[in-house]
């Protein structure tokens, strides 16, 4: 039986790409862009190398000129950057942020679903850069991730505490949960419920925004948890609690709708507007 020529070509290209990785990790930005443009098969490994290059530049800026340099292929540029320091988030200039976002999108489109090498290369950017870069990283990773991917789930849950309240990154995380989380997953819900009890506004707000995407419609336990936040002293929390309640409550959840109706008299116009929009038409 003759081997499939197409299959053999793909295997050779894959092998060549991995061998080239050892050389590409030492290349600069222009060389990587040029190499990736020569053939579609090399685009994947070149975009991975570009993301590592940007991480290396951030590390170099953080360590200072006198610190020893690390190879791009060093494992610390993946595992050690899954939760970068807070002060690294704002170190991307506009041009670099655009380059990173382009690389993230290309990598997500050229990689196969479940490709852990590509996912690990993109995960650090969920924590780094401006809100647009973080949102792009979230959507790119979620495009490749499979249900139950623990690393991706942890990263998405982390963005529920994003410093930009209700911003693009938090919104992208909420929209991406359906890609990796099965509704009603007890482990995920336990962590989200814990965020609901968090005294920090960002964490509680993010949990309320995400909860309707994580529970079944009419979930009594979730309704009870959300109702407990409707009287919060923070108007942002009250508004999001009302919106979450309207999305989760089933037609027979009379207590929930009574709670929403009561919020029509809230002192905040935003809470009153949320209550009005959450009532069934």
Residue 50 lies in a domain: yes
Same domain, 107 and 229: no
* Cβ(45)–Cβ(20) below 8 Å: yes
Q: Considering the domain boundaries, does residue 243 fall inside one?
A: yes
DSSP 112: P
Same domain for 174 and 105, yes or no, is yes
- Residue 261 sits in a domain whose CATH number is 1.25.10.10
| Same domain membership, residue 167 and residue 200 | no
To which H or E segment does residue 221 belong?
Answer: helix 220-227
167 φ/ψ angles, rounded to the nearest 5 degrees: -80, -175
Q: Does 89 fall in a domain?
A: yes
**What is this structure's pTM?**
0.73
Supply the pLDDT for residue 227: 95
Q: Report residue 164: phi and psi, to 5°.
A: -90, 105
- Sign of the alpha-carbon dihedral angle for 109, 115, 121, 126: positive
Domain that holds residue 137: 26-58+79-181
pLDDT string in tens for the chain (281-residue length): 454 544 444 443 444 445 554 445 455 555 555 555 555 556 666 676 667 666 666 655 544 444 444 333 343 333 333 334 444 444 677 888 888 888 888 888 888 899 888 888 889 889 888 899 999 999 999 999 999 999 999 999 999 998 888 889 999 999 999 999 999 999 999 999 999 998 888 899 999 999 999 999 999 999 999 999 999 999 999 999 999 999 999 888 899 999 999 999 999 999 999 999 999 87
DSSP 139-194: HHHHHH--TT-HHHHHHHHHGGG-SSTT-HHHHHHHHHHHHH--TT-HHHHHHHHH
């Amino acid at each position: 039986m003759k081997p499939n020529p197409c299959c053999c070509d793909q295997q050779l290209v894959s092998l060549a790409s991995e061998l080239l990785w050892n050389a590409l990790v030492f290349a600069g930005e222009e060389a990587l862009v040029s190499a990736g443009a020569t053939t579609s098969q090399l685009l994947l490994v070149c975009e991975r190398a570009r993301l590592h290059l940007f991480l290396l530049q951030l590390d170099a800026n953080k360590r200072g000129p006198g610190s020893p340099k690390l190879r791009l292929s060093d494992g610390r540029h993946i595992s050690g950057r899954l939760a970068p320091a807070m002060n690294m988030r704002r170190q991307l200039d506009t041009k670099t942020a655009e380059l990173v976002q382009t690389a993230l999108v290309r990598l997500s489109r050229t990689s196969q679903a479940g490709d852990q090498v590509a996912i690990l290369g993109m995960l650090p950017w969920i924590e780094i850069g401006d809100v647009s870069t973080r949102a792009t990283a979230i959507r790119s990773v979620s495009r490749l991730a499979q249900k139950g991917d623990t690393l991706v789930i942890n990263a998405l849950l982390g963005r529920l505490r994003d410093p930009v309240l209700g911003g693009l990154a938090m919104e992208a995380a909420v929209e991406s949960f359906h890609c990796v989380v099965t509704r009603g997953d007890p482990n995920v819900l336990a962590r989200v419920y814990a965020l609901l009890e968090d005294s920090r506004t960002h964490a509680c707000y993010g949990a309320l925004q995400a909860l309707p995407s994580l529970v079944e419609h009419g979930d009594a336990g979730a309704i009870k948890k959300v109702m407990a936040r409707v009287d919060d002293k923070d108007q942002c929390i009250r508004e999001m609690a009302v919106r979450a309640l309207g999305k989760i409550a089933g037609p027979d959840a009379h207590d929930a709708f009574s709670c929403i109706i009561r919020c029509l008299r809230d002192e905040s116009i935003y809470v009153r507007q949320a209550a009005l929009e959450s009532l069934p038409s």
